[in-house]
Amino acid sequence: MKKIMKLGMKHLAPYLPYVLKGKFILDIDLVSGLNNEYDLVEPQNGNAVELKDFAPILRPLSDLNKEISFNGKKIIPFIEMAKIECGDTDDAEISYEIEEDDYTLFLEYLPSWFSLNYYKNSKKLARWDDGEGIEPCSNETLMKLYEYHFDMFGLIEKGLAIDINTLK
């Protein structure tokens, strides 16, 4: 028997520091808090609603290499994350190459020997550095996924979240 996944507090909590938007039946509101004891979502401008009546608005991971609007700026999330992994703190223009196939999204910084890889089937990120080999990404990079509101739990495909691209 296949277990049906339900939206839980553990799915929403990582997004709260980054102004989570969601749909409450007909309206879009900002979430200000969660009540874990009673499974309630507390919108900023209204009464708490049951978690079953809420759907967060998230980005699919397929948007990693697409230009998005974030804090009034146009960015490509995968490039911003690669900058963190490389320790590139300024906004200098970088040379990069993004390749994609059925299994991997791959960003290579040019001319260095660094790459950031997103493995589609396992939904994992890893970095590769000529001197260090393959390693997991830093926590700072992974937190960017929540800040950019990427669906890290597969909620969109399970019908528990709304794809931001369907709202435009």
Whether residue 79 contacts residue 96, with contact meaning beta carbons closer than 8 Å, is answered with: yes
List the Cα angle 26/28/32 in 5-degree steps. 130
Of the pLDDT bands very low, low, confident and very high (cuts 50, 70, 90), residue 73 is very high
Pairing mode, strands 133-136 and 124-129: antiparallel
Q: Tell me: the pLDDT tens digits for 75-99?
A: 988 888 888 877 765 554 556 667 7
- For the chain, give every domain's residue range: 9-60+151-166, 63-147
Report the alpha-carbon distance of residue 119 to residue 122 in Å, rounded. Answer: 6
Q: Tell me: the pLDDT tens digits for 35-55?
A: 554 445 555 556 655 666 778
List the Cα angle 30/67/160 in 5-degree steps. 40
- Predicted model pTM: 0.74
